[in-house]
């Protein structure tokens, strides 16, 4: 995307109330639609318009009288063709319209649609997310508050670590992405001068947004070494750091670099760092933290997001009856369900509490529940996911009668979360 576009506010068009029913929108323009109105329109760069038009002109469109029920992010005018785009379902819809309309899309009939494979979907999202962000007034996404001030001091050690990682991997110029990080401290030590050296595993993610939906652009999981000076009055300030070289030529080169840096302090630390990266020991926990930051930043409806992932898993042409087959064929969707963490658990609990989950969805939710809460897994046979959950719930209630909530939160976090919901 051209930098000149992102830095120019003159190309944004705003419509004041009252808004008309239909709009003449210039060619090669993205228009955000919200709550039945056209909110803003932004001109596409020539390069992006050409890339998108080339894509949609070379795909197999499906003619249909009954158009799919979609959650529309925006309308795109590509060379005079009016297309409605859904990032939620990865679909372009083209009605037989000469103007962009804000009427309810479900009542419009007649036209064609194209459901994108994942590669094309990511391609389109990467182009459009920056424009949709710009509609919301976002030209560069600031990192979450990290507690650091202009002098480089941070209130806490955790905040100082986050600030150091974000600063080290900051973009050279605005990239329109949300940068988030999380970490797990393997070891820390303070010398006689009061300087603290931290050995940690760090997760850095960069996300692009299309409306409230986000997709991963970059993700790094790696060991780091950071040294801070400390002042009771000012907090922590970075004085020295080591990050792995990017990109590494091979695992052998990277592992040797890690071992050399960490073994300078102790061989046990070097072994811990290598095991952590090879076995992904902290990665799931850190990815969940990064996802949570993105969810809170976007104000995302996680119920819809989790439901969509389950729908994707279920939509497997020719899948066998065994629910595990569906899961095996959708590793990316299952991985995202794990990354959503407690948001996925909240969805599963709410669906099971409503009852009636006796089909494929119930079996899938049971399997994801067991993966998210292995400490609470039941060793029993159940005909349906609902039957399994009913026993799981009974067990959770028994635990609540035997232990206080602090013990449950520490030893059975999923049961603790469920008990909060069940008591509401």
* pLDDT given at position 249: 62
Is there a domain that residue 146 lies in? no
**pLDDT at position 134:** 45
Instruction: Based on the fold, state whether residues 157 and 288 are members of the same structural domain.
Output: yes
For tokens 């990080």, what's the residue?
181
Residue 199's φ and ψ, nearest 5 degrees, are: -110, 115
Q: Using DSSP, state whether 40 is helix, strand or coil.
A: strand
- The structure's pTM equals 0.67
Q: Could you list the residue range(s) of the whole structural domain that residue 70 is in? A: 3-135
What are the structure tokens assigned to 410, written together?
């520490």
- Shared-domain flag, residues 161 and 86: no
* Among 11, 9, 16, residue whose Cα is nearest residue 38: 16
pLDDT tens digits in sequence order for the chain, 424 residues long = 333 223 333 333 333 333 444 656 678 888 765 434 455 667 888 888 888 998 888 888 988 877 776 666 678 888 888 888 876 677 888 887 766 665 444 446 678 888 888 667 767 877 776 665 544 433 333 444 545 555 567 888 999 999 999 999 887 776 778 899 999 999 999 998 889 999 999 999 998 876 557 778 889 999 999 999 988 888 899 999 999 987 556 888 889 999 999 999 999 999 999 999 999 999 999 999 999 998 888 778 889 889 989 988 988 766 667 888 899 989 989 999 999 999 999 999 999 999 999 999 999 999 999 999 999 999 999 999 999 999 999 999 999 999 999 999 999 999 999 999 887 5
Please check whether residues 306 and 287 belong to one and the same domain: no
Burial of 394 (0-12, 13-18, 19+ CB in 10 A): exposed
Distance (Å) of CA 168 to CA 30, 76, 253, 254: 34, 37, 21, 18
Examine the domain organization and report whether 238 and 197 are in the same domain.
Answer: yes
Q: Residues 354, 250: one domain?
A: no
Phi, psi (rounded to 5 degrees) for 107: -90, -10
Query: Which of 259, 294, 329 is at the close of a domain?
Result: 294
Q: Are residues 289 and 336 in the same domain?
A: no
Of 253, 269, 294, the residue at which a domain comes to its end is 294
In a domain, 144, yes or no: no
Asked if the structure places residue 320 within a domain, the reply is: yes
Kindly list the distances between the CA atom of residue 256 and the CA atoms of 183, 211, 250, in Å, as whole numbers in the listed order: 22, 42, 10
pLDDT at 349: 97
Give the torsion sign (CA, 374, 376, 379, 380).
negative
Flag whether 14 is in a domain: yes
Q: How many domains does the chain have?
A: 3
């Amino acid at each position: 995307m051209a930098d000149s576009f992102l830095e120019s506010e003159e190309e944004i068009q705003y419509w004041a109330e009252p808004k008309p029913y239909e709009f003449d929108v210039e060619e090669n323009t993205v228009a955000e639609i919200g709550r039945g109105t056209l909110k803003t329109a932004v001109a596409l760069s020539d390069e992006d318009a050409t890339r998108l038009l080339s894509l949609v002109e070379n795909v197999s469109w499906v003619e249909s009288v009954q158009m799919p029920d979609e959650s529309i992010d925006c309308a795109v005018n590509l060379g005079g063709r009016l297309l409605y785009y859904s990032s939620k379902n990865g679909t372009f819809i083209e009605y037989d319209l000469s103007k962009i309309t804000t009427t309810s899309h479900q009542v419009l009939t007649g036209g064609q649609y194209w459901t994108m494979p994942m590669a094309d979907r990511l391609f389109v999202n990467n182009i459009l997310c920056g424009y949709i962000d710009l509609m919301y007034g976002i030209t560069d996404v600031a990192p979450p508050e990290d507690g650091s001030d202009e002098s480089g001091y941070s209130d806490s050690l955790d905040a100082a670590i986050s600030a150091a990682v974000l600063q080290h991997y900051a973009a050279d110029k605005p990239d329109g992405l949300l940068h988030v990080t999380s970490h797990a401290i393997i070891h820390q030590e303070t010398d006689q001068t009061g300087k603290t050296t931290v050995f940690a595993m760090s997760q850095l993610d960069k996300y692009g947004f299309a409306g409230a939906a986000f997709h991963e652009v970059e993700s790094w999981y790696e060991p780091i070494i950071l040294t801070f000076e400390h002042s009771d009055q000012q907090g922590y300030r970075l004085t020295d750091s080591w990050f792995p070289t990017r990109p590494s030529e091979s695992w052998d080169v990277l592992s040797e670099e890690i071992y050399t840096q960490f073994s300078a302090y102790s061989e046990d630390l070097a072994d811990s760092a290598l095991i952590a990266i090879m076995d992904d020991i902290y990665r799931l926990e850190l990815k969940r933290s990064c996802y949570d930051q993105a969810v809170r930043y976007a104000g995302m409806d996680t119920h819809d997001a989790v439901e969509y992932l389950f729908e994707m898993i279920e939509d497997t042409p020719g899948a066998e009856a065994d629910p595990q087959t569906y899961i095996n064929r959708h590793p990316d969707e299952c991985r995202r369900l794990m990354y959503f963490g407690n948001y996925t658990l909240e969805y599963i609990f709410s669906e099971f509490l409503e009852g009636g989950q006796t089909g494929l969805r119930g079996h899938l939710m049971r399997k994801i529940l067991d993966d998210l809460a292995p400490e609470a897994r039941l060793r029993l046979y159940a005909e349906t996911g609902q039957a399994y959950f009913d026993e799981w719930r009974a067990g959770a209630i028994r635990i609540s009668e035997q232990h206080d909530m602090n013990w449950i939160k520490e030893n059975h976090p999923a049961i603790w979360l469920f008990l909060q919901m069940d008591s509401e």
